[in-house]
Amino acid sequence: MGTWYITVVTAAAMGGGLTQWRESVARLLVSCTDRPGLVAALSSFLRDRGANILHAAQHSTDPEGGTFFMRLEFKLDERDTDREAIERAFAAEVAGPFGMEWRLSYAAHRKRVAVLVSRYDHCLAELLWRWRRGELHADIPVVISNHPDLESEAARFGVAFKHIPVERGAKPAAEAELLEFLGRQYELLVLARYMQILSPEFLAAVHTPIINIHHSFLPAFAGANPYRRAHERGVKIIGATAHYVTEELDAGPIIEQDVARVTHREGVDALAHTGADLERLVLTRAVNWHLEDRVLIYGNRTVVFD
Amino acid sequence: MGTWYITVVTAAAMGGGLTQWRESVARLLVSCTDRPGLVAALSSFLRDRGANILHAAQHSTDPEGGTFFMRLEFKLDERDTDREAIERAFAAEVAGPFGMEWRLSYAAHRKRVAVLVSRYDHCLAELLWRWRRGELHADIPVVISNHPDLESEAARFGVAFKHIPVERGAKPAAEAELLEFLGRQYELLVLARYMQILSPEFLAAVHTPIINIHHSFLPAFAGANPYRRAHERGVKIIGATAHYVTEELDAGPIIEQDVARVTHREGVDALAHTGADLERLVLTRAVNWHLEDRVLIYGNRTVVFD
Amino acid sequence: MGTWYITVVTAAAMGGGLTQWRESVARLLVSCTDRPGLVAALSSFLRDRGANILHAAQHSTDPEGGTFFMRLEFKLDERDTDREAIERAFAAEVAGPFGMEWRLSYAAHRKRVAVLVSRYDHCLAELLWRWRRGELHADIPVVISNHPDLESEAARFGVAFKHIPVERGAKPAAEAELLEFLGRQYELLVLARYMQILSPEFLAAVHTPIINIHHSFLPAFAGANPYRRAHERGVKIIGATAHYVTEELDAGPIIEQDVARVTHREGVDALAHTGADLERLVLTRAVNWHLEDRVLIYGNRTVVFD
Amino acid sequence: MGTWYITVVTAAAMGGGLTQWRESVARLLVSCTDRPGLVAALSSFLRDRGANILHAAQHSTDPEGGTFFMRLEFKLDERDTDREAIERAFAAEVAGPFGMEWRLSYAAHRKRVAVLVSRYDHCLAELLWRWRRGELHADIPVVISNHPDLESEAARFGVAFKHIPVERGAKPAAEAELLEFLGRQYELLVLARYMQILSPEFLAAVHTPIINIHHSFLPAFAGANPYRRAHERGVKIIGATAHYVTEELDAGPIIEQDVARVTHREGVDALAHTGADLERLVLTRAVNWHLEDRVLIYGNRTVVFD
More confident residue, B19 or A57: A57
What value does the mean pLDDT take over residues D109-133?
97
Which residues in chain A have Cβ-Cβ distances shorter than 8 Å to B299?
234
Contact at CB, A47 and D54, closer than 8 angstroms: no
D302 interface with C at CB cutoff 8 Å = yes
Give the list of residues 6+ apart from residue C227 with CB closer than 8 angstroms, or none.
Answer: C215, C216, C238, C268, C271, C272, C275
Note which residues in 223-262 of chain C have CB less than 8 A from chain D. 232-237, 239, 253-259
Question: Using CA atoms, how far apart are residues B268 and B249, in angstroms rounded to an integer?
Answer: 23
Looking at residue B102, which CATH number applies to its domain?
3.30.70.260
Contact at CB, A62 and D306, closer than 8 angstroms: no
Q: Give percent of chain B above pLDDT 70.
A: 92
Instruction: Tell me the pLDDT band of A6, cut-offs 50, 70 and 90.
Output: very low
One domain for residues A161 and A236: yes
CB B145 within 8 A of CB B163: yes
CA A49 to each of CA A79, A100, D67: distance values in angstroms, whole numbers, following the listed order:
10, 19, 22
**Nearest CA to D11 among D104, D130, D149, D116?**
D104
Closest-CA residue of C relative to B293 is C5
Decide if pLDDT at C87 tops 60: yes
Contact at CB, D264 and C304, closer than 8 angstroms: yes
Q: Chains with 3 or more CB pairs closer than 8 angstroms to C?
A: A, B, D
Nearest-CB residue to B297 (from C5, C53, C299) = C5
Angle separating helix axes D268-291 and D226-233, nearest 10 degrees: 120
Nearest-CB residue to A219 (from B220, B253, B263) = B220
Which residues in chain C have Cβ-Cβ distances shorter than 8 Å to B187?
4
Find the domain containing B72 and state its range.
17-106
Closest-CA residue of A relative to C19 is A269
- Helices and strands, counts by H and E, chain C: 9, 13
Give the list of residues 6+ apart from residue C269 with CB closer than 8 angstroms, or none.
Answer: A15, A16, A17
Burial class (CB within 10 angstroms; exposed 0-12, middle 13-18, buried 19+) of D260: middle
Question: Using CA atoms, how far apart are residues B6 and D276, in angstroms rounded to an integer?
Answer: 33
CB D38 within 8 A of CB D68: yes
Instruction: Tell me the pLDDT band of D22, cut-offs 50, 70 and 90.
Output: low
Nearest-CB residue to B31 (from C6, C36, C69) = C6
| Nearest chain D CA: its distance from C59 CA (Å) | 7
Give the list of residues 6+ apart from residue C29 with CB closer than 8 angstroms, or none.
Answer: B6, C69, C70, C71, C102, C103, C104, C105, C293, C296
Mean per-residue pLDDT of chain A: 90
Contact at CB, B236 and A253, closer than 8 angstroms: no
Question: Using CA atoms, how far apart are residues D226 and D216, in angstroms rounded to an integer?
Answer: 6
Decide if pLDDT at B218 tops 60: yes
One domain for residues D227 and D174: yes
One domain for residues B115 and B244: yes
One domain for residues D213 and D93: no
Element (H, E) at D52: strand D52-60
Query: Do you find a cis peptide bond into B36, omega within 30 degrees of 0?
Result: no
DSSP A198: P
Per the domain annotation, does D48 fall within a domain? yes
One domain for residues A55 and A134: no
Which residues in chain D have Cβ-Cβ distances shorter than 8 Å to C300?
232-234
Which of C106, C121, C140 finishes a domain?
A: C106
One domain for residues D68 and D139: no
Mean per-residue pLDDT of chain D: 90
Per the domain annotation, does C289 fall within a domain? yes
Looking at the structure of chain A, the number of domains it has is 2
Decide if pLDDT at D262 tops 60: yes
Which of B83, B106, B129 finishes a domain?
A: B106
- pLDDT, tens only, A94-150: 999 999 999 999 988 999 999 999 999 999 999 999 999 999 999 999 999 999 999
Per the domain annotation, does B27 fall within a domain? yes
More confident residue, C77 or C211: C211
What's the complex ipTM?
0.90
Cα torsion B178, B179, B183, B187: sign: positive
- Helices and strands, counts by H and E, chain B: 9, 13
Which residues in chain D have Cβ-Cβ distances shorter than 8 Å to A59?
55
Which residues in chain C have Cβ-Cβ distances shorter than 8 Å to D59?
264-265
One domain for residues C80 and C122: no
Lowest mean pLDDT among A152-166, B238-252, C2-16, D66-80: C2-16
Lowest mean pLDDT among A175-184, B2-11, B236-245: B2-11
One domain for residues A86 and A159: no
One domain for residues C93 and C150: no
Mutation site, B30, B39, B293, interface C, largest C CB count within 10 A? B39
Which of A65, A84, A106 finishes a domain?
A: A106
Which residues in chain D have Cβ-Cβ distances shorter than 8 Å to B275?
none
| Nearest chain A CA: its distance from D38 CA (Å) | 8
* CA terminus-to-terminus distance, chain A: 24
Per the domain annotation, does B269 fall within a domain? yes
Note which residues in 66-125 of chain C have CB less than 8 A from chain A. 121-122, 125
Lowest mean pLDDT among A194-198, C59-63, C188-192, D70-74: C59-63
CA C25 to each of CA C57, C77, C106, D23: distance values in angstroms, whole numbers, following the listed order:
16, 9, 6, 71
One domain for residues B152 and B22: no
* pLDDT score, position B22: 61
Per the domain annotation, does D11 fall within a domain? no
- pLDDT, tens only, D156-169: 999 999 999 999 99
Strands (E), chain A: 25-33, 52-60, 67-75, 101-106, 111-117, 138-145, 160-163, 188-191, 210-214, 237-244, 254-261, 295-298, 301-304
Catalytic entry in A34, A121, A250, A293 = A250
A269 belongs to the catalytic site: no
One domain for residues A91 and A118: no
Per the domain annotation, does D1 fall within a domain? no
The residues with which B85 forms a beta bridge, in sequence order, are: none
Closest-CA residue of D relative to B54 is D265
Q: Give percent of chain C above pLDDT 90.
A: 86
Per the domain annotation, does D31 fall within a domain? yes
Give the list of residues 6+ apart from residue D231 with CB closer than 8 angstroms, or none.
Answer: B13, D266, D267, D268, D271
Note which residues in 154-213 of chain B have CB less than 8 A from chain C. 187, 203, 206-210
Decide if pLDDT at D64 tops 60: yes
One domain for residues B208 and B279: yes
Give the list of residues 6+ apart from residue A221 with CB closer than 8 angstroms, or none.
Answer: A229, A230, B219
How many other C-beta atoms lie within 10 A of the C-beta of residue D68?
A: 22
CB D122 within 8 A of CB D276: yes
- pLDDT, tens only, C226-267: 999 999 999 999 999 999 999 999 999 999 999 999 999 999
CA C158 to each of CA B209, C114, C142: distance values in angstroms, whole numbers, following the listed order:
57, 14, 9
Q: DSSP of B40-92, one letter per residue?
A: HHHHHHHHHTT-EEEEEEEEES-TTT-EEEEEEEEEPPTT---HHHHHHHHII
Per the domain annotation, does D135 fall within a domain? yes
Question: Using CA atoms, how far apart are residues A106 and B298, in angstroms rounded to an integer?
Answer: 57
Instruction: Tell me the pLDDT band of B10, cut-offs 50, 70 and 90.
Output: very low
C149 interface with A at CB cutoff 8 Å = no
Side-chain half-sphere exposure of C178, counting CA atoms within 13 A: 28
Mutation site, B55, B131, B273, interface D, largest D CB count within 10 A? B273
Q: Give percent of chain D above pLDDT 70.
A: 92
The residues with which A64 forms a beta bridge, in sequence order, are: none
- pLDDT, tens only, B118-150: 999 999 999 999 999 999 999 999 999 999 999
Which residues in chain C have Cβ-Cβ distances shorter than 8 Å to A281?
277
Decide if pLDDT at C211 tops 90: yes
Looking at residue C235, which CATH number applies to its domain?
3.40.50.170
Question: Using CA atoms, how far apart are residues C93 and C80, in angstroms rounded to an integer?
Answer: 17
Question: Using CA atoms, how far apart are residues A10 and A29, in angstroms rounded to an integer?
Answer: 9
Tell me the whole-structure pTM to 2 decimals: 0.92
